[in-house]
Amino acid sequence: MKAAEEKTIDVKAEFSQRMVCVKTDLCTRRGRHFIGVNFQAVINGNLRVINATVKEMTERATGTEIRAMLVASLQKLGIEEQQIYTLTTDNGSNVVKAGQIMRENTRYVDPEESYGSDEYDDEVDNLSEDEISRLNEVNETLNGIKTAAEGVISVRCAVHTLQLSVHDVISSNARIKKVLGAVRKVVNKTHTQNMRLVFKQNKKALLKSDCDTRWGSTYDMLESVVVSKSFLDQIGLTNESLLLLEDEWEIIKDLLHSLKPIYEATKTLQFRNLVAGQFLGEWMKCKVLLSKEATVTSLAVLQAMENREEALLNNGALLSAIYLDPRFQCLLKQPQKIVAQQHLYELWRRMIIVETEKETSNSKEMKDAVPSETDNKEHCLRAEKSASIDVIDQLLIASDKNNEEGGERVRTVRDDIRQAVKNFDNCKRVDRNEDIFKWWQYHPHQNLKRLAEVALALPVSQVSVERTFSGLRYILDELRLGLKEDIVESIMFLRCNT
């Protein structure tokens, strides 16, 4: 427990002043329900990922409860809800609801007109009618650019969206469902004690079973069955329950052939430190390969991807991360670039607000601290030196100076960042193997660099949380099922962050 407390202090020092991107997921292990929370930020040219918590849930997993536990876990590490830029989740209704609640709680009301609006109007004037129509559709989906950037932004997990696209096709095709059911029966029969011995004696690999909610595991199962086809036909001579019909074998082979692009894309999207631009490249590559396959199944999955694409891609945070990635910016259409630019203007304003609130909070904490005897003496000396100056004059001079300097500084920085974001459009493409975090680390424009570090930290999946859950199997084994929830949380915190 002490080691966990010391690690908490280190994480606080590193992240307490930063905006972060959060990802969360839920799982069940040995009858106990857990929430996992990770967050990440770009620091010194590296993407730092921290496991905030793996905490047992003792209440119903409603959106309100998920949000409360998520915020509490981050506050323990010195991160307030206003510092959360995005929340990446799967498509479950309860976690999506948690994101909606967080967005409402972190919404800022700025009495000033959204800066950059004139620039936005000028850009729209230069678009064709088709592009304007498309831009209006995007804005409607985002529920307005200004609103989208004001609070925590929900991002759907790309891997889960791919899974759902395949599930849409399988669940709507009775023949495929029937064949998968037949295959699972064969696989289950081969996992009996007697059949395991038969496979072992013949030096054959045991068939892989699948999980309904993990389409990749279903693909692996089908592949293992095809590899073992001749052996299954052989032992099926004495056990007809292990035989599959010829038309079933044809459907299995068609599934493997047709869905290989989406299977490979799913694996690629689970890589560590995958950024939004790389995701878009893989997503588009998958669509191209599915189109080339041109089978009934591949075209059906392609249509399912396009049906879910709008909710996934029409996201200001996602488009902004791609816009600031010179390796993949060219994949964006002009209306998407305009949405990204406006989102980045609003993100910059929110970053300033968060920094100001943090500074104010820190100043208040310092004022509330009990002054030492030395501090009191220094304060008295300063008071004596300024006693000859009228107090009202001091206030007037200080306020006038702050208004002039502060107002000019804000206007200058706003104009500067707006112009820098606009100028980044159509930037020279960078090799896609370039480390984008290192590339931005040495960028000469410091404010644009700060903006890019926040935008590019966006996670397109919550795979890292699922990897964290995998570690629970080593903690909650049969001999330690009774571990208290705070001990499990501390062990997982140290295990994942050391």
Domains of the chain: 2-108+462-497 (3.30.420.10), 160-303 (no CATH)
Rounded average pLDDT over 238-242: 88
The overall average pLDDT reported for the chain is: 84
Is the pLDDT score of 213 beyond 90? no
Cα distances (Å, whole numbers) of residue 179 to 59, 72, 175, 193 = 39, 46, 6, 25
Rounded average pLDDT over 231-252: 92
Rounded average pLDDT over 168-177: 93
pLDDT bracket for residue 313 (50, 70, 90): confident
Q: What is the structure's pLDDT at 94?
A: 92
pLDDT bracket for residue 156 (50, 70, 90): very high
Is the pLDDT score of 321 beyond 60? yes
Picking from 266, 194, 206, the residue whose alpha carbon sits closest to that of residue 231 is: 206
Q: What is the structure's pLDDT at 476?
A: 83
pLDDT tens-digit series, residues 428-446: 999 999 999 999 999 999 9
Q: Hey, what are 17's tokens?
A: 């002043």
Distance CA(163)–CA(266), nearest Å, equals 8
Distance CA(453)–CA(465), nearest Å, equals 22
| Rg of the chain (C-alpha set) | 28
Does residue 4 or residue 122 have the better pLDDT? 4
**Sign of CA pseudo-dihedral 7, 8, 11, 12:** negative
Distance CA(484)–CA(486), nearest Å, equals 6
Q: How many CA atoms lie within 13 A of 170 on its CB side?
A: 24
pLDDT bracket for residue 471 (50, 70, 90): confident
pLDDT tens-digit series, residues 367-426: 565 555 545 544 444 444 444 445 555 544 555 555 444 444 445 556 789 999 999 998
Does residue 97 or residue 414 have the better pLDDT? 97
Does residue 126 or residue 193 have the better pLDDT? 193
pLDDT tens-digit series, residues 108-118: 545 444 444 44
The conformational region for residue 153 under phi > 0 = left, psi -120 to 50 = alpha, else beta, is: beta
Distance CA(321)–CA(277), nearest Å, equals 7
Q: What is the structure's pLDDT at 53?
A: 92
Is the pLDDT score of 16 beyond 90? no
Q: Which residues pair with 43 in a beta bridge?
A: 46
Distance CA(204)–CA(312), nearest Å, equals 42
Q: What is the structure's pLDDT at 474?
A: 84
Residue partners of 253: CB distance under 8 A and separation at least 6: 226
Rounded average pLDDT over 142-159: 67
pLDDT tens-digit series, residues 26-69: 998 888 899 999 999 999 999 999 999 999 999 999 999 999 99
